[in-house]
C-alpha cells in the first residue's frame, strides 16, 4: 500500500475526523467570540487562542478571517431555518397556524440565545459573502411561503404573481423582525402574530 493511501489514526481517531474536530472547534470559538464580544473581536489570533489551535490549523480550514465569519453565519442561519421548518411541519393546522408556529419558534430561538441575536444584527458590510448569505436566506423563506400558499389556498394565483407576493411578504416580515431584533420591546408571540396577519392579508388577496 502506497504511503499516500495510509490514513493514520491517533488514539483511534482518523485524520479526517481530527480535521473535522478542529474545524468544529474553530467554528465554535468564532461563534462564541462573535456572540459575546462582537464581530470586530473575531480575529484569527483570538479564535486560535479560544480553540487552543495554532494558525496553521486555522488556515487549514479557512483561507481568511472572513471565511470563518461566513461559515459561522451559515451555521446560525441553517439552524434557525431548520428550527422554523420543523416547527411548521409539526403544526397540524392550516396556513395561519403553520406560519404562526414557524415564526414564533424562530423568534423564540433568537430570544433564547443572546449570541444568535448579536450575530444576526451585526453590520454585514465589509465581510465578503455575508450580505449575499442573508439574501439567500430571504429567498429560501420566500420559496417556503410559495409552497405553503399553493398547498393551502383553493385558488392559487399565477405562480409568478404568487412568488412576487411571497417576496413582498418575506421582505416586510424581515423588516419587522429586524426592527424587533434591534428593539425587542414586544414579545415573540406579538411579533409573530403581527407578521402572520400581514402575510396572510397579502397572500389571501389574490386567492
CATH of the domain at 82: 1.10.357.10
- For 134, list phi and psi in degrees, rounded to 5: -65, -35
For the chain, the distance separating the N- and C-terminal CA atoms, rounded to the nearest angstrom, is 66
Same domain? For 58 and 112 the reply is no
- DSSP string computed for 89-138: HH--S-HHHHHHHHHHHHHHHHHT-HHHHHHHHS--TTSTTHHHHHHHHH
Task: Give residue 3's pLDDT.
Answer: 44
Its domain, for residue 58, covers 10-62
What cell does 161 get? 404573481
Same domain? For 50 and 89 the reply is no
Reported residue count of the chain is: 207
Asked whether 75 and 27 are in contact (CB, 8 A), the reply is: yes
- Chain mean position to CA 144: 15
Give the count of domains, the chain: 2
Same domain? For 57 and 79 the reply is no
Same domain? For 150 and 177 the reply is yes
Same domain? For 16 and 74 the reply is no
Task: Judge whether 5 lies within some domain.
Answer: no
Same domain? For 116 and 175 the reply is yes
Same domain? For 53 and 89 the reply is no
Task: Give residue 50's pLDDT.
Answer: 97
CATH number at residue 41: 1.10.10.60
Q: What is the pTM of this model?
A: 0.80
Same domain? For 137 and 199 the reply is yes
Instruction: Show the low-confidence residues of the chain (pLDDT under 50).
Output: 1-7
Task: Give residue 4's pLDDT.
Answer: 45
Task: Give residue 31's pLDDT.
Answer: 96
Task: Judge whether 2 lies within some domain.
Answer: no
Same domain? For 75 and 136 the reply is yes
Same domain? For 102 and 174 the reply is yes
Same domain? For 46 and 109 the reply is no
Task: Give residue 6's pLDDT.
Answer: 46
Task: Give residue 43's pLDDT.
Answer: 96
Question: Of the residues 62, 78, 102, which one is the last residue of a structural domain?
Answer: 62
What cell does 164 get? 412576487
Amino acid at each position: 500500500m502506497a504511503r499516500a493511501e495510509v490514513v493514520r489514526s491517533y488514539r483511534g481517531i482518523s485524520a479526517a475526523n481530527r480535521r473535522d474536530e478542529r474545524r468544529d472547534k474553530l467554528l465554535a470559538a468564532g461563534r462564541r467570540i462573535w456572540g459575546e464580544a462582537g464581530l470586530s473581536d473575531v480575529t484569527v489570533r483570538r479564535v486560535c487562542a479560544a480553540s487552543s489551535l495554532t494558525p496553521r490549523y486555522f488556515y487549514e480550514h479557512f483561507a481568511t478571517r472572513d471565511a470563518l465569519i461566513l461559515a459561522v453565519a451559515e451555521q446560525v442561519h441553517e439552524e434557525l431555518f431548520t428550527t422554523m421548518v420543523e416547527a411548521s411541519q409539526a403544526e397540524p393546522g392550516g396556513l395561519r397556524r403553520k406560519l404562526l408556529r414557524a415564526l414564533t419558534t424562530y423568534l423564540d430561538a433568537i430570544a433564547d440565545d443572546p449570541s444568535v441575536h448579536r450575530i444576526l444584527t451585526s453590520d454585514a458590510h465589509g465581510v465578503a459573502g455575508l450580505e449575499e448569505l442573508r439574501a439567500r436566506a430571504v429567498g429560501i423563506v420566500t420559496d417556503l411561503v410559495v409552497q405553503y400558499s399553493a398547498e393551502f389556498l383553493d385558488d392559487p394565483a399565477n405562480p409568478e404573481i404568487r412568488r412576487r407576493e411571497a417576496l413582498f411578504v418575506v421582505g416586510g416580515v424581515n423588516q419587522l423582525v429586524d426592527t424587533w431584533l434591534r428593539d425587542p420591546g414586544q414579545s415573540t408571540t406579538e411579533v409573530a402574530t403581527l407578521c402572520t396577519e400581514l402575510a396572510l392579508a397579502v397572500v389571501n388577496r389574490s386567492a
